[in-house]
């Protein structure tokens, strides 16, 4: 159970980190970039990110945009 919580915490931190990096790099187009990566996530195996990661990043960016 503890390992699962640790992995989940690391996954959330990675999502937030990638969301922040995309916003810094792409600005208003960060959501679009995350969407493109989400689309490619289904076709390309990215050894650095688990399946579904970019969908979570996209949602994190959307939530940040709503708060503004």
Q: Is 34 helix (H, G, I), strand (E, B) or coil?
A: helix
Location of structure tokens 């969908």: 55
**Rounded CA gap, 29 and 46, in Å?**
22
Of 3, 2, 42, 67, give the one whose Cα is nearest residue 19. Answer: 67
Global confidence as pTM: 0.84
Per-residue pLDDT reduced to its tens digit, 32-44: 999 999 988 766 6
**Per-residue model confidence as pLDDT tens digits over 41-67:** 766 665 578 888 999 999 999 999 998
What are the sequence ranges of the domains in the chain?
2-67
**Token representation of residue 66:** 């709503």
CA distances from 37 to 1, 28, 46 (A): 31, 16, 10
């Amino acid at each position: 159970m503890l390992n699962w919580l640790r992995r989940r915490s690391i996954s959330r931190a990675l999502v937030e980190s990638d969301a922040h990096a995309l916003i810094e790099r792409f600005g208003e187009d960060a959501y679009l970039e995350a969407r493109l990566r989400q689309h490619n996530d289904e076709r390309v195996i990215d050894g650095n990110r688990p399946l579904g990661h970019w969908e979570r990043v996209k949602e994190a960016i959307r939530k940040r945009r709503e708060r503004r």
